[in-house]
């Protein structure tokens, strides 16, 4: 994580250049697109060891066009996702995929050739990205000296990354296919989710001037030192992120398959073994019993002095338990880094085209709106 922080800062600099042009020209910002470009750059850099500039190359770069093809709603998702949920074995047997074969082919060959190039590179030891970490792990040559993470995660709010807590590599052998799948999962799970968080956060800051000013003052006090350690010590920034994930959980529902028959005391309902259960995170986060005035975006709820009011298990933007999000620390670090760098230079503002409250799209997996237009000014 710490080793990848400089790579993220490089990507934020590219977003900074993009925003500067917008601010100077007085252009409106489609914040959803701008943040999506940032998270795409970050994943290309960290998970695929490739530097791209999505802000400028979004129509021409193969990596970007193929990624967009996965996320742009297409008939495959709507046909195959329900089939996967209802008849998973059938889908596996028929080798049905939500991606077209050309997109699958592209990523398979792109990732394989990146791994091959990296292995052949005599300077590969210098790389500090996820791709190299996997190659090191495969070779058992990992230098773990930098892995001692500081206490950067507020477990009181976000919970633990349980899945990784006690895992040791042991005798696990990492194959090339594992590496391919991991890089790809990084892309699928980390691109839109983190972009959603960053775009809703910037959008709410544009609406809530006082909150934006308070955030600016907190961050400005660090006087340009937005190191890996510093960004973990900004309580108001953390509260703004936590409140955005409450109000706009990027994955509004999560699912489990029931492993043993369960009788619910209050309702008398019985959930049989094997049944799929979907959990409505968005409604839970908007329940006034737990979050008074739930439609207000109010970071105060997550400030240290108010945290005792939070009720356990009522906040789960990253899921909970042993199958919660493994990318949570990374996503939070990326979001904090981006906001700390941007808020000191820019002021996000409401324009005549900023629609509030936003209207959500009905048929997207990730919480989404048509567009999120805001203005941006140099401070």
257 binds ligand HEM (CB under 6 A): no
- C-alpha pair distances (Å), 227 with each of 4, 161, 221, 285, 379: 12, 22, 13, 31, 22
318 binds ligand HEM (CB under 6 A): yes
Region 258-317 residues binding ligand HEM, contact defined as CB under 6 A? 317
197 binds ligand HEM (CB under 6 A): yes
What is the closest distance, in whole angstroms, from the C-beta atom of residue 70 to ligand HEM in the complex?
15
What is the closest distance, in whole angstroms, from the C-beta atom of residue 183 to ligand HEM in the complex?
10
Closer residue to ligand HEM (CB): 196 or 375: 196
- From the list 6-14, 100-108, 247-255, 287-295, the region that binds ligand HEM by CB under 6 A is 247-255
250 binds ligand HEM (CB under 6 A): yes
Closer residue to ligand HEM (CB): 154 or 375: 154
Q: Closest Cα to residue 353, out of 20, 29, 118, 19?
A: 29
d(C-alpha 246, C-alpha 352), whole Å: 26
Give the count of residues interacting with ligand HEM (CB under 6 A).
22
- C-alpha pair distances (Å), 260 with each of 87, 271, 275, 276, 320: 20, 8, 9, 12, 19
Closer residue to ligand HEM (CB): 185 or 311: 185
Closer residue to ligand HEM (CB): 153 or 254: 254
333 binds ligand HEM (CB under 6 A): no
What's the sign of the alpha-carbon dihedral 146, 148, 152, 153?
Answer: positive
Percent helix, strand, coil in the chain, to 5, is 55, 5, 35
69, 84, 326, 344: which one binds ligand HEM (CB under 6 A): 326
Q: Between the CA atoms of 204, 206, 212 and 215, what dihedral angle is there, to the nearest 10 degrees?
A: 60
Closer residue to ligand HEM (CB): 258 or 326: 326
Closer residue to ligand HEM (CB): 186 or 297: 186
What is the closest distance, in whole angstroms, from the C-beta atom of residue 203 to ligand HEM in the complex?
15
Which residues, 6+ apart, have CB-to-CB distance to 370 below 8 Å? Answer: 359, 361
Closer residue to ligand HEM (CB): 101 or 259: 259
Q: Closest Cα to residue 207, out of 352, 34, 20, 354?
A: 354
What is the closest distance, in whole angstroms, from the C-beta atom of residue 262 to ligand HEM in the complex?
17
23 binds ligand HEM (CB under 6 A): no
193 binds ligand HEM (CB under 6 A): yes
Which residues, 6+ apart, have CB-to-CB distance to 212 below 8 Å? Answer: 205, 206, 343, 347, 348
Which residues, 6+ apart, have CB-to-CB distance to 62 below 8 Å? Answer: 106, 110
H and E: helices and strands count for the chain:
15, 7
251 binds ligand HEM (CB under 6 A): yes
325 labeled part of a ligand binding site: yes
| Burial of 118: CB neighbours in 10 Å, binned 0-12, 13-18, 19+ | middle
Region 153-192 residues binding ligand HEM, contact defined as CB under 6 A? 163, 185-186, 189-190
Query: Contact positions toward ligand HEM, by CB under 6 A?
Result: 163, 185-186, 189-190, 193-194, 197, 250-251, 254, 317-320, 323-327, 330-331
Which positions make up the binding site?
325
Which positions make up the binding site for heme?
325
């Amino acid at each position: 994580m710490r080793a990848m922080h400089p790579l993220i800062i490089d990507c934020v600099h590219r977003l900074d250049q993009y925003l500067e042009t917008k601010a100077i020209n007085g252009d409106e910002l489609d914040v959803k697109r701008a943040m999506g470009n940032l998270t795409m750059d970050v994943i290309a850099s960290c998970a695929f060891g490739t530097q791209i500039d999505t802000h400028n190359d979004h129509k021409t770069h193969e990596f970007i066009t193929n990624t967009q093809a996965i996320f742009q709603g297409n008939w495959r998702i709507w046909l195959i996702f329900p089939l996967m949920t209802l008849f998973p074995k059938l889908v596996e047997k028929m080798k049905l995929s939500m991606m077209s074969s050309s997109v699958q082919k592209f990523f398979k060959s792109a990732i394989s050739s990146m791994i091959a190039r990296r292995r052949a590179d005599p300077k590969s030891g210098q790389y500090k990205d996820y791709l190299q970490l996997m190659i090191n792990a495969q070779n058992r040559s990992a230098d773990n000296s930098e892995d001692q993470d500081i206490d950067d995660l507020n477990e009181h709010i976000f919970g633990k990354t349980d899945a990784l807590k006690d895992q040791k590599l042991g005798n696990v052998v990492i194959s090339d296919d594992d590496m391919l799948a991991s890089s790809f999962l990084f892309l699928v799970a980390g691109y839109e989710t983190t972009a959603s968080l960053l775009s809703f956060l910037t959008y709410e800051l544009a609406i809530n001037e006082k909150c934006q000013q308070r955030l600016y003052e907190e961050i400005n006090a660090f006087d340009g030192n937005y190191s890996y350690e510093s960004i973990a010590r900004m309580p108001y920034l953390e509260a703004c992120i936590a409140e955005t994930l409450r109000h706009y959980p990027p994955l509004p529902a999560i699912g489990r398959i029931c492993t043993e028959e369960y009788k619910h005391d209050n309702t008398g309902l019985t959930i049989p073994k094997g049944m799929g259960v979907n959990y409505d995170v968005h409604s839970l986060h908007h329940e006034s019993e737990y979050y008074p005035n739930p439609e207000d975006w109010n970071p105060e709820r997550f400030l240290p002095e108010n945290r005792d009011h939070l009720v356990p298990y009522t906040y789960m933007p990253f899921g909970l338990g042993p199958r919660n999000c493994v990318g949570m620390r990374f996503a939070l670090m990326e979001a904090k880094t981006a906001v700390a760098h941007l808020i000191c230079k820019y002021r996000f503002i409401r324009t005549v085209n900023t629609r509030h409250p936003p209207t959500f799209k009905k048929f997207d997996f990730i919480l989404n709106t048509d567009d999120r237009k805001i203005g941006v000014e140099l401070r």
